[in-house]
Amino acid sequence: MYWAHNPAFRKVKSGELRECILKLVGNVNKSVK
């Protein structure tokens, strides 16, 4: 995953990062439906 190599994302807390991923996945699921 590209964001794993991004220093900015390394600074983000794992909880916040997981929340962002869940939002992205949710948006993708909505667009697929």
Q: What is the pLDDT of residues 1-33, one digit of tens each?
A: 555 566 666 666 667 878 888 898 898 888 877
CA distance 14 to 18: 6
pLDDT of residue 11: 64
What is the model's pTM? 0.45
The DSSP-derived string for 1-33 is -GGGG-HHHHHS-HHHHHHHHHHHHHHHHHHH-
Q: What is the dihedral of CA 15, 2, 23, 16, to 10 degrees?
A: 20
